[in-house]
């Protein structure tokens, strides 16, 4: 038992007080975990494009004030009544896609989406409809059930997984979102081995899709990105070709170009941009009769996808993937072992490091174009 168990903890957290505002690192009070909850000392967190999406006000589910962050790694400080899946001192990764193993979704065998805590998670609250975070008595919203931009956070026991202590948390924290999302989107899609693939967007997610497609044996991998600086990254991760759509002749659509150079289109395409026009291009770059396009990118409030229904009538399939279709509590320990055995890359994605007080600079790093992932050290102010 830690000597803080059962007591509120005062610590620093990065609060976003309103849409579009920078984060403010301030003292908050973190209440003890209630039944079936876990309080975690967060040591490291990545910054994902989705944190910026919600901070910017583009997320229709966005609530303020909020403590963002969903790509963390930490150590269990204390547990609430009835928690059996993790123990004090365990190294853990919070999961924004819970896995209760008993709801209709979990038992279906068809999806990784769990119904147990998603409704309250979307309201920025714990399952009992209250918050564990307060600032001078004012409740602050949780985010994605994880809120890793706080030195201590509280999560539901179905939203956390213990991992091998040999794994460095400053690296495996990225399994909380980016790397796992990309890995799962590919390995859970049958048929990639021996097939042609195009990946739109070469941030951490797109690069992870490229690396995993190479790992499972895709025959060709075309990377598409408007940022020329991403060519070397894409090739390093296993892309066989890089195309910058802005360099095509005026009026030439990227999907038409891809269909021409691939003898009718790709077997598989992935959107990792969040841009609905790119999602359409990715679908239309698929081969007639069998091409499958997966949407991973998250689009802003009010944005909708469109295409001619004929694209689907003629056999192309449009699908989406959340957290790569991965069931976190069941599958992340295995991914950590794959990382330790050198089968899954993580270190390569960490291009920037920031101290906690520099978290806004971490967000700026993301916009600079040369950042794949920035990892924030929550222990250093």
Ligand X SMILES: N[C@@H](CCC(=O)N[C@@H](CSC=O)C(=O)NCC(=O)O)C(=O)O
Q: Which residues are catalytic?
A: 48-50, 70-71, 100, 103, 106, 114, 118, 177, 373
The yes or no reply on residue 41 touching Zn ion (CB under 5 A) is no
How far is the CA of 211 from the CAs of 179, 216, 366, in angstroms?
10, 9, 21
DSSP code for 221: E
Query: Taking Cα atoms as reference points, which of 238, 252, 248, 169 lies closest to residue 206?
Result: 238
341 is written with which tokens? 């055995």
| Of 4, 134, 226, 241, the one binding ligand NDP by CB under 6 A | 226
The yes or no reply on residue 292 touching Zn ion (CB under 5 A) is no
Query: Taking Cα atoms as reference points, which of 20, 1, 33 lies closest to residue 152?
Result: 33
Query: Taking Cα atoms as reference points, which of 36, 339, 15 lies closest to residue 159?
Result: 36
The yes or no reply on residue 204 touching ligand NDP (CB under 6 A) is yes
Closer Cβ to ligand NDP, 19 or 88, answer by number: 19
| Of 19, 63, 103, 113, the one binding Zn ion by CB under 5 A | 103
Write out the binding residues for ligand NDP, residues 322-381 only, by CB under 6 A. 322-323, 369
End-to-end CA distance of the chain: 27
| Of 111, 227, 303, 360, the one binding ligand NDP by CB under 6 A | 227
- What is the spatial distance between Cα 360 and Cα 357, in angstroms, rounded to a whole number? 8
The yes or no reply on residue 269 touching ligand NDP (CB under 6 A) is no
Closer Cβ to ligand NDP, 97 or 131, answer by number: 97
DSSP code for 115: -
Whether 125 and 145 have beta carbons less than 8 Å apart is answered as: no
Query: Residue holding tokens 């899609």?
Result: 189
Burial class of residue 279, CB neighbours in 10 A (0-12, 13-18, 19+): buried
| Of 6, 18, 20, 60, the one binding ligand X by CB under 6 A | 60
Binding partner of 118, given Zn ion, ligand X, ligand NDP, none, CB within 5-8 angstroms per partner class: ligand X
| Of 48, 68, 126, 259, the one binding Zn ion by CB under 5 A | 48
- Contact string (CB under 6 A) for ligand NDP, positions 25-64, x = contact: -----------------------xxx--x-----------
**Footprint of ligand NDP (CB under 6 A):** 48-50, 53, 177-178, 181, 200-206, 224-227, 230, 245, 272-275, 278, 296-298, 321-323, 369
């Amino acid at each position: 038992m830690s000597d803080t168990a059962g007591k509120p903890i005062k610590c620093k957290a990065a609060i976003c007080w309103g849409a579009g505002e920078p984060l403010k690192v301030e003292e908050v009070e973190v209440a003890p975990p209630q039944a079936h909850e876990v309080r975690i000392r967060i040591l490291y967190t990545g910054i994902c494009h989705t944190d910026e999406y919600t901070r910017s006000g583009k997320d229709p589910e966005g609530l303020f004030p909020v403590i963002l962050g969903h790509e963390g790694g930490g150590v269990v400080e204390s547990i609430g009544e009835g928690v059996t899946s993790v123990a004090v001192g365990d190294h853990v990764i919070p999961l924004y896609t819970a896995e209760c193993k008993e709801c209709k979704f979990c038992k279906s065998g068809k999806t990784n989406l769990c119904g147990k805590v998603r409704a309250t998670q979307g309201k920025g609250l714990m399952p009992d409809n209250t918050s564990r975070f307060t600032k001078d008595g004012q409740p602050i919203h949780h985010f994605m059930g994880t809120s890793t931009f706080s030195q201590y956070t509280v999560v539901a026991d179905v939203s956390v997984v213990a991992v091998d202590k040999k794994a460095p948390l400053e690296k495996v924290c990225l399994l909380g979102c980016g790397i796992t999302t990309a890995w799962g989107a590919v390995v859970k899609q049958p048929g990639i081995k021996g097939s042609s693939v195009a990946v739109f967007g070469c941030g951490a997610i797109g690069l992870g899709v490229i690396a995993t497609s190479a790992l499972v044996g895709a025959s060709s991998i075309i990377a598409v990105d408007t940022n020329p600086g991403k060519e070397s990254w894409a090739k390093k991760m296993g892309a066989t070709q890089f195309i910058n759509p802005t360099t095509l002749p005026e009026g030439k659509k990227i999907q038409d170009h891809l269909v021409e150079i691939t003898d009718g289109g790709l077997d598989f395409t992935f959107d990792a941009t969040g841009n609905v026009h790119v999602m359409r291009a990715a679908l239309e770059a698929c081969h007639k009769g069998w091409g499958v396009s997966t949407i991973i990118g998250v689009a802003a409030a009010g944005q909708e996808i469109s295409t001619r229904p004929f694209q689907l009538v003629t056999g192309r399939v449009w699908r989406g993937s959340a957290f790569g279709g991965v069931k976190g509590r069941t599958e992340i320990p295995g991914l950590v072992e794959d990382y330790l055995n050198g089968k899954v890359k993580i270190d390569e994605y960490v291009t920037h490091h920031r101290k906690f007080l520099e978290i806004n600079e971490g967000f700026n790093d993301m916009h600079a174009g040369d950042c794949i992932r920035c990892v924030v050290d929550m222990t250093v102010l």
